[in-house]
Chain A
Amino acid sequence: MSRIKNCFDKLKIRNRKALIPYVTAGDSDPAVTVPLMHAMVNAGADIIELGVPFSDPMADGPVIQRAAERALEHRVSLRNVLAMVAEFRQQDSHTPVVLMGYLNPVEMMGHTVFAEAAAEAGVDGVLTVDLPPEEADTLVAALHSQQLDPIFLLAPTSNDERIKLICEAASGYVYYVAVKGVTGAGNLDVSAVADKLEQIRKHTDLPVGVGFGIKDAESAAAVAAVADAVVVGSALVQKVEQAAGQHDRINAEIAGLLMQMRAGMDAK
């Protein structure tokens, strides 16, 4: 059974919602990432989304753009990111890891080679932001052949037809982007999110994660009340930026925010 499905099944039994932090691999330098992944698990993360840096992050706001630039200053490649996951797996065999990024680095490696290398490293899911299901046949087939979960985005603009198409292509979970905009955008409307989740759940039994606009314990708790998982990215990456180069401080600040979110989500 996939680590992701296993994770959500266990959470369901305990009536808990998943907390999914996102950080960009190699930000602020390559040595930060693996210890930070462990620190996030200790602080209550259930699944880790690890960003693969790309030179042209079209769907990201300034915070995550700058994270990619910092990582690319150290020439962090997709292969480096896979090596980080393999290193993380030496000490943690149960926390699912999802790679999140753009298609071109995967294209360059080749879909089959990438899927094999990702499975070998201990990756569980792959979310390529600029790959809608219409174009995803070969990558999804390559991922499935390695028992990896293709994760897809849903958006406020997705209609019933697209929700159905996306949920059929996805496994593991689906990720609902709560606001029209890039990562790090503000105005989260929880009641609108709740309405959309109702529409999405008519089409799928997959867990639904919600991200974009979640920045503190309060917003995490509000989203956890309606979603199966809470994804937090820019709020964490901002802390990496503020503490760039100071590894202990990065771990402490991110763990601190995640613990607050965890407490908020579990309080209800």
Chain B
Amino acid sequence: MSRVTSTEVVNVSQIENTNEPLIGQVPDNRGHFGVYGGKFVAETLMVPLQELQDAYDKYLDDPDFIAELDADLQNYVGRPSPLYLAEGWTRHLGGAQIYLKREDLNHTGAHKVNNTIGQALLAKRLGKTRIIAETGAGQHGVATATVAARLGLKCVIYMGAVDIARQAINVYRMKLLGAEVVSVESGSKTLKDALNEAMRDWVTNVDDTFYIIGTVAGPHPYPAMVRDFQAIIGREARQQIQQQAGRLPDALIACVGGGSNAIGLFYPFLDDRNVAIYGVEAAGDGLDSGRHAAPLCAGRPGVLHGNRTYLMEDDDGQIIETHSVSAGLDYPGVGPEHAWLKDIGRARYVAINDAEALQAFHDLTRIEGILPALESSHALAYATKLAPTMEKDQIIIVNLSGRGDKDIHTVAALEGIEV
């Protein structure tokens, strides 16, 4: 059993004593976020990772690349995504005003496409002809298959057999988009095993293949690169809230599986020290049950999938199976930057169980007419706890990271309804 630590361990004093900017501080040139991150992969991938880093550094400063990325985000993805004041839900909760960052309105229905657009443009410039990706809920797989279709690249998506069964619609979407979906039958047959299998593919086909990792995990430079592509969420939200409310928010809330939508919202606010930051992990059946996916709340540091971070692991260092009603949060690790933000106390990590997330899923649908993804429902559920403790003139921004159409069958099945 893993040692259960408090979900509220925060060492605020460490950062309150300093005004040093956090943006741009991490990672270092070897990919370290404090003691986390790094590059823990077999030797075959070390040179390809360096090449990826060099290419990324180069194109980040290339006006043509940035112009193409911006144009795609605007005209293909539909950015900027709206920031919406959920007045009905705010009244319902009776506390702070809740704004929703509507990543569910992006093309393909989630924040994932912000990153796949960026990485696919890199792949094209590197002359790669084949794209691979791992997926859990299928959102990243769909977002990858989408950009691969548009750029005419061959696309292979690795997905755990368990996730294939519970996300049938997304599997079919990927196939419609021309991707090959490979069912991963090893280990727990979920996201972590899909990531293992994608790594094995990459090491074998590294000459012509670009691996689009979907979250802020993996070996350097992925955690930093994916963060930078997702940070548009927070940059827009920071500007939009000032236009709409005339000030910065008091709190940010986002769900954390690997943590890409969360870091995307959080990062541009890291130096706004008065903005409280909450990352919401999946408590599954409850943190005490052992059946959850909350490494920051109840795990301990280790090394998996190319980086050092908090993990769900047993006393022998074996990765243990996770559980969440939400396939996209069902992952035993978490991005190393979140591990760092937890340790320095800049962000607070909490957990929401399956039942609480499902309640929020229903509430938002009924009260606001917005069907949220089960992943995002974890963030919404934490807002229902936090908002009533705050004043009515205070502001919370919740990242509505994806839409819930893909989850209708899961929710119906849980409630014994045949669709």
Contact = CB atoms under 8 A, between A and B. Distances in A.
Interface of A: 54-62, 65, 69, 72, 75, 77-79, 102-109, 129-132, 134-135, 152-159, 162, 166, 177, 180-182, 185
Contacts of A185: 204
A157 B47 contact: yes
Contact of B317 (A65, A78, A131, A155): A78
Given A56-B192, A56-B304, A104-B317, A181 B204 contact: yes
Most chain A C-beta atoms within 10 Å of own C-beta, residue among B48, B187, B205? B187
A118 B193 CA distance: 30
B44 A104 contact: no
B385 interface: no
Contacts of A132: 39-41, 43, 46
Interface in B32-60: 38-48
B319 A166 contact: no
A182 B46 contact: no
Nearest to B316: A77
Interface stretch (B89-97, B99-107, B195-203, B391-399): B195-203
A174 to B, nearest CB: 10
B303 A153 contact: no
A200 to B, nearest CB: 12
A228 to B, nearest CB: 18
A134 B30 contact: yes
Contact of B318 (A62, A72, A154): A72
Contacts of B203: 59, 180-182
Given A132-B40, A153-B43, 16 more contacts: A55-B319, A56-B319, A57-B196, A58-B199, A59-B200, A62-B186, A65-B186, A104-B303, A105-B318, A107-B301, A132-B43, A152-B43, A155-B42, A155-B46, A157-B45, A182-B203
B40 A135 contact: yes
A156 B204 CA distance: 11
Given A55-B319, A58-B199, A157 B206 contact: yes
A58 B196 contact: yes
B44 A157 contact: yes
Contacts of A153: 42-44
Contacts of A156: 44
Interface in B302-322: 302-306, 308, 311, 313, 315-320
Given A56-B304, A59-B203, A104-B303, A130 B313 contact: no
